């Protein structure tokens, strides 16, 4: 079984965002890593690239409008709170709000959620709408609850 840091490393390496990436939260149940790549990804390739990395991880994509998203977010929220970070409660519309806020700043955002045998993985990428570097990458690897 892969470990959280191995999964996050695969994602960061795939987007060439490994150098300078750092964990935002890291505990035994969840790892959130943020990084940026100097490469520019054409905006029309966002969806395909996210699908490609999901396949490399052997993940099953979770539809963004499904009820499963709410369950994954609540589980991740529980793991984040275990790290002693101050956070408010999350809800199933958190991804949509994040996307809307970043897009209001002139960025294009895409994300996908994948289920792996032992983990849920959320990958978000965003960059300037004029395809100006950097490409930002965030990956959340959360242990599935039994």
Concatenate the DSSP letters of all residues of 93-104 into one string.
THHHHHHHHHHH
Q: What is the architecture of the domain spanning 4-143?
A: 2-Layer Sandwich (3.30)
Residues 118-136: tens digit of each pLDDT: 999 999 999 999 999 999 9
What pLDDT does 81 receive? 72
Contact 90, 77 (CB under 8 A): yes
What pLDDT does 83 receive? 65
Contact 23, 31 (CB under 8 A): yes
CA distances from 30 to 25, 41, 86, 106, 119 (A): 7, 27, 15, 30, 9
Neighbouring residues of 99: CB distance < 8 A, sequence distance ≥ 6: 109, 111
Neighbouring residues of 106: CB distance < 8 A, sequence distance ≥ 6: 128, 129
Which H helix or E strand runs over 122? Answer: strand 119-128
Alpha-carbon torsion 11, 13, 17, 20, what sign? positive
What pLDDT does 99 receive? 79
Mean pLDDT of 14-30: 90
Per-residue pLDDT at 74 exceeds 60:
yes
Residues 79-118: tens digit of each pLDDT: 777 765 555 554 455 667 777 888 888 899 999 999 999 9
Where exactly are the structural domains of the chain? 4-143
């Amino acid at each position: 079984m892969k470990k959280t840091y191995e999964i996050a490393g695969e994602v960061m390496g795939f987007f060439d965002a490994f150098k300078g990436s750092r964990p935002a939260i890291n505990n035994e149940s969840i790892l959130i890593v943020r990084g940026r790549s100097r490469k520019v990804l054409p905006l029309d390739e966002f969806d395909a690239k996210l699908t490609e990395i999901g396949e490399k991880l052997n993940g099953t994509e979770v539809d963004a409008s499904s009820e499963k998203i709410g369950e994954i977010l609540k589980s991740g929220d529980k793991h984040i709170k275990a790290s002693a970070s101050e956070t408010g409660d999350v809800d199933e519309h958190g991804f949509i709000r994040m996307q809307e806020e970043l897009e209001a700043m002139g960025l294009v955002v895409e994300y996908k959620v994948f289920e792996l045998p032992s983990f849920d993985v959320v990958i978000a990428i965003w960059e300037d709408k004029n395809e100006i570097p950097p490409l930002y990458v965030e990956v959340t690897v959360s242990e599935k609850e039994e």
